[in-house]
Structure 1
Amino acid sequence: MKTIYIRTTKIDQIFNKLSSSFGGNLEVLSNEFKLALNDNVGKGIINGITFKNGISYLEFDVTLNETLILSLYSTKRLPIYFAYCTKGSLAHRFGDSDQEHVLNKFQTGILASKRAEESILTFKKDEPTRISLIVVNTMISENVEGFSLNQKLRNAFFENDTKESAVYIGSHNLKISEKIKELNAIKHTGIVRNLMMKGIVHLILAMEVQQRADDLNRLNNTTGSLTKKELETVKEFSEFIVNYPENNFTLKFLSRKSGLSANKLQEGFKILHNRTVRDFIINERMKKSEELIRTTDLNISEIVYSIGFTSRSYFSKIFKQKYNCSPKFYKDSQNSLAATA
Structure 2
Amino acid sequence: MITVNSKLNGLNIFFNKLQKEIGGTLNVTPKEQFLEIDNKIGTGTIRSISLEDDISVLEFNITVNQDLQIDIDSNAGSHVNFIYCSKGKISQSFQNNTTTNTIETFQTSIISNIVSKKNTVTVFKGIETNTTIISVNTETKKGATSEINKALKTAFISNKKEDYIYLGSYNLKIAENIKQLKAIKNEGVVKALLTKGIVNLILGLEIEQHGKDISTTETPTTSLTKSEMELIKDLTEYVNNYPDMDHKINTLTRKIGLTAAKVQEGFKLMHGLTVCEYIRSVRLYKSEELIINTDLSISEIVYSLGFSSRSYFSKRFREKYNCSPRDYKKKSRLAISA
The aligned counterpart of 1:74 is 74
* Closer, same or farther: CA 17–257 of 1 in aligned 2, 3 Å: closer
Give how far 1:107 is off: 3.4
Which structure 2 residues correspond to residues 10-25 of structure 1 after superposition, within 5 A?
A: 10-25=10-25
Higher deviation after alignment, 175-184 or 326-335: 175-184
Give how far 1:269 is off: 0.9
Taking the aligned partners of 2:130 and 2:54, their CA distance within structure 1 comes to: 23
Taking the aligned partners of 2:211 and 2:249, their CA distance within structure 1 comes to: 30
Taking the aligned partners of 1:79 and 1:201, their CA distance within structure 2 comes to: 16
Which structure 2 residues correspond to residues 17-166 of structure 1 after superposition, within 5 A?
A: 17-37=17-37, 39-76=39-76, 78-141=78-141, 143-144=143-144, 146-157=145-156, 164-166=163-165
The aligned counterpart of 2:231 is 233
The aligned counterpart of 2:166 is 167
Please tell me whether the aligned partners of residues 255 and 265 of structure 1 are also in contact (alpha carbons under 8 angstroms).
yes
Unmatched runs of 5 consecutive residues or more in structure 2: none
Give how far 1:267 is off: 0.9
Give how far 1:138 is off: 1.4
Taking the aligned partners of 2:98 and 2:218, their CA distance within structure 1 comes to: 22
Taking the aligned partners of 2:37 and 2:253, their CA distance within structure 1 comes to: 43
Give how far 1:117 is off: 4.2
Please tell me whether the aligned partners of residues 106 and 177 of structure 1 are also in contact (alpha carbons under 8 angstroms).
no
Give how far 1:221 is off: 4.0
Give how far 1:141 is off: 4.2
* Closer, same or farther: CA 282–195 of 1 in aligned 2, 3 Å: closer
Give how far 1:62 is off: 2.3
Taking the aligned partners of 1:7 and 1:336, their CA distance within structure 2 comes to: 50
Please tell me whether the aligned partners of residues 176 and 204 of structure 1 are also in contact (alpha carbons under 8 angstroms).
no
Please tell me whether the aligned partners of residues 76 and 139 of structure 1 are also in contact (alpha carbons under 8 angstroms).
no
Q: Give the residue type in structure 1 aligned to 2:233.
A: K
Show CA shifts across 1:174-217 (max 9, x none). 5544444444543525x554444434333333333334334556
The aligned counterpart of 2:278 is 280
Q: Give the residue type in structure 2 aligned to 1:326.
A: S
How does the TM-score come out when normalised to structure 2? 0.85
* Closer, same or farther: CA 25–230 of 1 in aligned 2, 3 Å: closer
Taking the aligned partners of 1:214 and 1:304, their CA distance within structure 2 comes to: 40
Secondary structure of 1:53's aligned partner: helix
Instruction: State the aligned residue count.
Output: 338
Taking the aligned partners of 1:180 and 1:29, their CA distance within structure 2 comes to: 22
Q: Give the residue type in structure 2 aligned to 1:101.
A: N
Please tell me whether the aligned partners of residues 292 and 298 of structure 1 are also in contact (alpha carbons under 8 angstroms).
yes
* Closer, same or farther: CA 24–78 of 1 in aligned 2, 3 Å: same
Secondary structure of 1:9's aligned partner: coil
Give how far 1:64 is off: 2.1
The aligned counterpart of 2:2 is 2
The aligned counterpart of 2:262 is 264
* Closer, same or farther: CA 277–159 of 1 in aligned 2, 3 Å: farther
Show CA shifts across 1:214-268 (max 9, x none). 4556657456222222222222222222222233323233334432222111111
Which structure 2 residues correspond to residues 321-336 of structure 1 after superposition, within 5 A?
A: 321-336=319-334
Higher deviation after alignment, 274-283 or 50-59: 50-59
Show CA shifts across 1:293-316 (max 9, x none). 223344334433332233433332
Residue 251 (1) aligns with residue 249 (2) = yes
* Closer, same or farther: CA 194–328 of 1 in aligned 2, 3 Å: closer
Give how far 1:283 is off: 0.9
* Closer, same or farther: CA 281–214 of 1 in aligned 2, 3 Å: farther
Give how far 1:79 is off: 0.9
* Closer, same or farther: CA 196–310 of 1 in aligned 2, 3 Å: closer
Which structure 2 residues correspond to residues 170-181 of structure 1 after superposition, within 5 A?
A: 170-181=169-180
* Superposed CA RMSD: 3.0
Give how far 1:11 is off: 1.6
Give how far 1:163 is off: 6.2
Over the matched positions of the two proteins, sequence identity in percent amounts to 36
How does the TM-score come out when normalised to structure 1? 0.85
